[in-house]
Amino acid sequence: MEAAHGLFHRKKLCKLTRQSEKLRHNEKTRESKIEKEKDKDRQSLILFTRLPILGKTKTRLVPRIGEEGALQIHWAMIKDFSALWKKLERKEKSISLCVFYDVPKGIAKEQRETALNCLKTLFPKASFQRQEGKDIFDKMENAFRYSFSKGSQFSYLVGADIPFMEEAHFHRVFALGRKGRQVLGGSLDEGYYGIGLQRRIEPELLHACFSYQAVQENRTILSASSLRNSRSMPKGKARRPIPKESPFSYTRKILEKSKIPLSLLEKKRDVDEGQDLNAYRSMLPYDKALRKSSFGEALAENAKISVIIPCYKEGRLVRRMEKQLRPYKKELEILFVDGGENHFSGEYRVIPSKKGRAIQMNLGAEESSGDILFFLHCDSILPKGFVKEIREGIKHSLAGCLGIRFKNPSPLMGICSLISNHRVLDRKVMFGDQGIFVDRNCFFAMGAFPILPLMEDYQFSLNLKKQGISPYLAKKRIITSDRRFQGNFIQKLSLMWKMNRLRARYRKGEDIEQLAKEYRDIR
């Protein structure tokens, strides 16, 4: 009886053991499937950047905005990318970020570590790898190989020099990656800003994708050889030089040879030269998100401002203006355009010109090198912080003014300045004594100031208005002279009314020369 009872318990124990082992096996199988599914969805984002070191980054921008400006632009783009990544990683859990950084030559270890720590503060959860390879293409190939070795099924590489990247762009890219597609995004300079590859890409094509440099060097050698051989060719049969192929076109051809389908992304503008900064700066008034970005702030902060002062018989006002601008000599480009009978101290650049405010201002604009042109009357008194006001204004419109108040604090002149400033907002019209500032490209696209003996500023405002450009009115006011408004209350009021009628007659098409005679130059 006891033996039978023991046999029963042993059978029961064996059965329970088998069930337990089966459960453990099923659990392992389930976990293995989950891991395989995770591996299948594993993707990586590769950020290529240089370490943010003064004088070693964005070097092609240095002649335009200096070493500090170039570093500020680079750092701003990285900060914006960091903000974008924080949003992206919350929604795309299967994506990991790897920052591949380039260390410029001649950098001390302490300086390198400081710059790298700055990057790590922006991307605390990312992995960091130093770029390795003989050229940029070799470095990119090695980055992809590293990413695939870590289990990524799809990797997307982008550079840090494409500002204002959108979250939707990355969602689309990784959605295409999950569908088994490869991607390529071209830049306007015929390079490419982004390339996404599948882990299963043919090995020979992976290498070929990043052999552009070697291929072009061979082309150059073949081209030179062809030119040498052409001397022995029959007349009229000389060989043509082998044309150089763009990085985008070359890489696209390679990827189209793969069995894996390719999707082309929208073109974007990278930031390499001054013209790229100008292009993005002109977008500021029309894109709120760009305006609020770190890159947008850096664009406005590093815009070069040229102050252009037309002068004619200004007397002591020239010295007063020179004194006002002295604290800004290093920050601004300052040009006096001399229409005659002025005496300058010699510490500023003076451009001789024919008399005529429009002629003088246009000449000053042509001779200037600024991104923003600030036209200033010699009898004006500038408010504190006017440079900051101009930089803020250019973020909101391609043109604007400081607005005015008169030196004479009388109620009549106060009402006159109020009407003048309100006219900027209501009728979109600015006058020269309000301190007009305008984007350089916009100024010349508008045809500069029309060569008129009178109302060149008024007509320029009308031209802007026709193009749908609403001027920005700054918060601070420029103090302007009331030297034209002489006499008692009635005489001043009469002159204001006369000027109003002159503008009305000009709009009706009356002869501008006759209107100029009635206006009369008081100097």
- Residue 516: its pLDDT value, please? 76
Report the CATH number at residue 59. Answer: 3.90.550.10
Residue 371 has pLDDT above 70, yes or no: yes
Q: What is the largest CA-CA distance in the chain?
A: 136
Residue 510 has pLDDT above 90, yes or no: no
Between 16 and 494, the higher pLDDT residue: 494
* Domain boundary pick from 261, 289, 317: 289
Query: Nearest-CA neighbor of 507 among 427, 437, 442, 422?
Result: 427
323 and 436 share a domain?
yes
- Residue 202: its pLDDT value, please? 95
Query: Nearest-CA neighbor of 104 among 138, 77, 131, 68?
Result: 131
Cβ count within 10 A of residue 87: 11
Residue 210 has pLDDT above 90, yes or no: yes
Query: Nearest-CA neighbor of 281 among 187, 164, 398, 166?
Result: 398
Distance CA 322, CA 378 (A): 9
The confidence band for 502, taking pLDDT boundaries of 50, 70 and 90, is confident
Residue 143 has pLDDT above 60, yes or no: yes
Distance CA 506, CA 456 (A): 11
* Domain boundary pick from 228, 254, 289: 289
- Residue 512: its pLDDT value, please? 83
Residue 235 has pLDDT above 60, yes or no: no
Tell me whether residue 28 is in a domain: no
Tell me the pLDDT tens digit for each residue of 28-59.
655 544 444 455 579 999 999 999 999 999 99
Q: Are 260 and 180 in contact (CB under 8 A)?
A: yes
Q: What domain range is 342 assigned to?
A: 304-483
408 and 456 share a domain?
yes
- Residue 288: its pLDDT value, please? 92
- Residue 40: its pLDDT value, please? 59
**What type of residue is 462?**
L
443 and 420 share a domain?
yes
163 and 241 share a domain?
yes
Tell me the pLDDT tens digit for each residue of 260-274.
999 999 999 999 999
Tell me the average pLDDT across 495-510. 78
210 and 354 share a domain?
no
Tell me whether residue 521 is in a domain: no
Choose the weakest-confidence range: 6-15, 110-119, 478-487: 6-15
- Residue 8: its pLDDT value, please? 53
Residue 280 has pLDDT above 90, yes or no: yes
- Residue 106: its pLDDT value, please? 87
- Residue 254: its pLDDT value, please? 95
Tell me the pLDDT tens digit for each residue of 89-113.
999 889 999 999 999 988 899 999 9
- Residue 408: its pLDDT value, please? 73
Choose the weakest-confidence range: 30-34, 149-153, 242-246: 30-34
* Domain boundary pick from 289, 314, 336: 289
Residue 227 has pLDDT above 50, yes or no: no
270 and 392 share a domain?
no
Overall domain count for the chain = 2
251 and 344 share a domain?
no
Residue 239 has pLDDT above 70, yes or no: no
Residue 436 has pLDDT above 50, yes or no: yes
Residue 148 has pLDDT above 90, yes or no: yes
Distance CA 480, CA 493 (A): 18
Tell me the average pLDDT across 128-140. 95
Tell me whether residue 517 is in a domain: no
Between 513 and 38, the higher pLDDT residue: 513
Q: What angle do CA 456, 458, 464 make, to 5 degrees?
A: 100
Please state the length of the chain: 523
Between 298 and 227, the higher pLDDT residue: 298
Residue 403 has pLDDT above 50, yes or no: yes
If you average pLDDT over every residue of the chain, what do you get?
Answer: 87
Residue 211 has pLDDT above 80, yes or no: yes
Q: Are 355 and 312 in contact (CB under 8 A)?
A: yes
